Structure 1
């Protein structure tokens, strides 16, 4: 008997079934659809964020505002937006590492290969299959492009933007990488997710630098992820002690989310952490020159901030560690070619050394030709020295 055409999936349904199947095969844990018109509130929220100056030195956010504000502004031809998510949940609570001040805490997302490269390759593979089946055109984006992925993910139903401004999922908590495929194909959208934060303030209260002026608002200028990654200058003095041993990023607000109890750790086939980045010794990083840094962090997102900024971060952590065994490596960095490193070394030594011993180093300041480093010497000489204080 001939099957009625009404019993067969139509072209749109077949495309959706293929996308779901191939996305899972590519390693994505969630996939959902939305429309380019689904985030009308996003431009106003972004404009407010920029007007408050919360973006700090990230001038590219203001420069790309027009394209970032709406998907059709970025690509007028887009008709559907496919949002994909990959779980990177850790095996343990990353905050436990704060009890080991002689070791460095690297944000969970940065403990393996650069996720931008991993996800973009898989997005391109899936996009090619979409074109092969549906025709038309596609564009793929990871978060280096001017796309407001988190509002789109909320509109597609993958999760909601929590009070920490990151995406929260009932299945994966706060541990999701996001990517998008813009397509000219017409695909039925999914239902948006609703906010399930309720009265919870766990993420807000966990921030060591009070970077949330209000729920759902982040002042990046106070955020340790911004300060250790995007910030090109010295770590501001007011945040150094609070930084503790966080040498690249900060996971506190993510790790505090109660929805994480439903999240599963990422499988080894996806983005399992490198063993040597789970609890690395600060001492090992203090002796890294540029070549050693580049070799050690090949393929890692840490590599993009460069050796000088990274060692700056490690020196602040060393100063917070109370580990006097780090005095020697820190002192050797007073002669580093980078003023950024030399200045951080001054601060670290002022925290680790006995006041009389540190005072004996003051002669080094007389030959210093960088004004910012001289300022570090002056501030260190005028402040009381606290041995072993750390967060």
Structure 2
């Protein structure tokens, strides 16, 4: 990607805004599709206020809606050190082999190489076998049975740190179309869809393409460098099937729109596409970082949530419709008491 001279001046602080703490949504609303929807015109900055199920008004036959069908694993494990009984918390980030995982461990000083930890009264034993990036540990697990079933029994949903209330129902941090286990966080723009709404959208003649990107926690971390260009993204695994590629290509060839649900779907197709925007079946690891100045190869429009200040996510949204339009829309959302972040309200950038 060619970076124009003025883009080198982008500062992380350019993407800051003041958010009242009480607007951070702590729990999901009962009806997924009843959340609020802000519609933002990417060219003019004009704003409309709707309900999420009104998204149908903005979709047309022939459009392709791209959804990330990753499934969040209950990746937070609470256990104890085998020899001393000291409390420990693991957060599983990335599976390396069947039984080895990169994990964040708290408190880290207890997690020296060779140390063993017990979960569920010994149903699962984790042994530190190595070190990974940014203080993470390589953990080898020992168990009898099927790892996924044990994790489902013992693990908790890895909710972001800004959500302090307990989640009563695990499935509310999953999209209704989640399929492939592997994420440390939900692709939250998809949480607004119900099966009924998706069926209605299909009946309108909108194509639905499923891609997979296993979301890592790095996606949500604030950028810690002053100059945006010095930020390094964590890599995440993605997969695009031939069926999804064909649907996306068909929409583009017929002059219709490709509309991504969430920044993760956007990053998946932009990573997988050829320079001319053509899609083929592909999988691999991506650390794509999209910020103002980026030229989208495939994406036309985006359904997304309201993101953290100074995050890579608000930078991606700003790349699509301009930083000033985005910050103006966020200020309007604050004024109108929209709910922010994972369990919050949605925005459609048209």
Larger radius of gyration: 1
Normalising by structure 1, we get a TM-score of 0.22
More helix by share: 1
Higher relative contact order (CA 8 A, sep 6+): 2
